[in-house]
């Protein structure tokens, strides 16, 4: 692997916590395509490149992803101060039981955080997210529970994932009026094909609330890597059970045309298609960290080459991409 530029670190919104410009997440891969041995290799490769934030969730592979990440970190012998780790709560992993599925009620949240910590083998996570909004639980109950999790020391910051701007603002206002711990960060999907929420809906929240973003799916599940330009490769994410939606996007003629132009632009600055797409996400000043996913060390190292692409992404090129994928 060629020497990469130094990893930048950004504050998580208005919080003092610093997270690496690119981070590493376990969605889809850990427990599905990646075992503990490979997880150790990938985590270390990420850390060697300067990654300090590692994203997880209770629901990923029904808790197995947390177990694998926690075991891998212990076997690597990392000190707790070296890394930032997250989990996300909402879906539940105990089946169709009352209070244990698709909820953000107090009972679920306070039990779920304990389960995640046990699987990860940690005393606390740095970040805990409400993985989705819950219209069936009073928002005040959820805010109190999340604030209590932080106050208890089981998490350092709390935030949301795929909430609307109105929901985030309402939660923040409840916390502000009651002197509770406020939500600090949101984890939305953000890439060249999914831009509206980050660029338009959330526009007022960055300054008003100091919202930080830990964005996921920066390559639109691999579509923006260009690997689907010539069909669906064997072993790719699009072939996995439950991910047929990727084919619908990848095989769309208009998307193919845009991705081909993206590939052509990447070639002019001698980076890969994926690296340029990742650099475009990272160039948004409101994005605290871009969560990368990879099923192999080689793929992870290639994606981390986006650090080079970020240096080569000129304002003119970014404007061209903005227009192309408008």
Active site residue 60: yes
The single residue of 24, 60, 190, 228 carrying the catalytic annotation is 60
Q: Report whether 300 contacts 24 (CB < 8 A).
A: yes
Question: Per-residue DSSP letters for 98-115?
Answer: TTSSS---HHHHHHHHHH
Neighbouring CB atoms inside 10 A of 233's CB total: 12
Neighbouring CB atoms inside 10 A of 228's CB total: 24
Interatomic CA distance for residues 155 and 85, integer angstroms: 10
Max Cα–Cα distance, the chain, nearest Å: 56
Q: Phi-psi bin for 289: left (phi > 0), alpha (psi -120 to 50), beta? A: beta
Instruction: Give me the helix-helix angle, 315-324 and 273-282, nearest 10°.
Output: 100
The values of phi and psi at residue 194, to 5°, are -135, 95
Cα torsion 158, 33, 305, 72: sign: positive
Question: Per-residue DSSP letters for 113-172?
Answer: HHHHHHHHT-S-EEEEEE-S--TTS-HHHHHHHHHHHHHTTSEEEEEESS--HHHHHHHH
Residues known to be catalytic: 60
């Amino acid at each position: 692997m060629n020497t990469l530029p130094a990893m930048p670190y950004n504050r998580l919104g208005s919080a003092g916590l610093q997270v690496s410009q690119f981070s590493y997440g376990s969605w889809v891969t850990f427990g599905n395509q990646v075992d503990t041995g490979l997880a150790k290799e990938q985590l270390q490769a990420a850390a060697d490149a300067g990654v300090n934030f590692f994203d997880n969730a209770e629901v990923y592979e029904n808790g197995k992803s947390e177990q694998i990440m926690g075991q891998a970190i212990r076997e690597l012998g990392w000190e707790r101060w070296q890394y930032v780790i997250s989990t996300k709560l909402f879906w539940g992993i105990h089946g169709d039981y009352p209070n244990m599925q698709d909820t953000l009620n107090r009972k679920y949240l306070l039990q779920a955080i304990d389960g995640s910590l046990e699987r990860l083998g940690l005393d606390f996570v740095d970040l805990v997210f409400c993985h989705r909004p819950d219209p069936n639980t009073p928002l005040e109950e959820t805010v109190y529970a999340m604030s209590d999790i932080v106050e208890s020391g089981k998490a350092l910051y709390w935030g949301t994932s795929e909430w609307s701007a109105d929901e985030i603002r309402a939660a923040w206002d409840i916390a502000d009026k009651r002197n509770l711990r406020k939500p600090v960060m949101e984890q939305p999907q953000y890439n060249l094909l999914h831009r509206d929420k980050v660029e338009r809906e959330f526009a007022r929240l960055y300054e008003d609330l100091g919202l930080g973003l830990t964005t996921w799916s920066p390559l639109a599940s691999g579509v923006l890597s260009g690997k689907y330009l010539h069909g669906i490769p064997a072993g790719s994410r699009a072939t996995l059970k439950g991910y047929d939606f990727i084919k619908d996007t990848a095989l769309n003629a208009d998307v193919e045309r845009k991705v081909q132009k993206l590939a052509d632009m990447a070639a002019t600055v001698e980076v890969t298609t994926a690296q340029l797409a990742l650099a475009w996400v990272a160039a948004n000043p409101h994005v605290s960290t871009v969560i990368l996913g990879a099923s192999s060390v080689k793929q992870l190292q290639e994606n981390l080459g986006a650090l080079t692409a970020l240096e080569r992404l000129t304002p003119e090129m970014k404007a061209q991409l903005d227009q192309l994928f408008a």
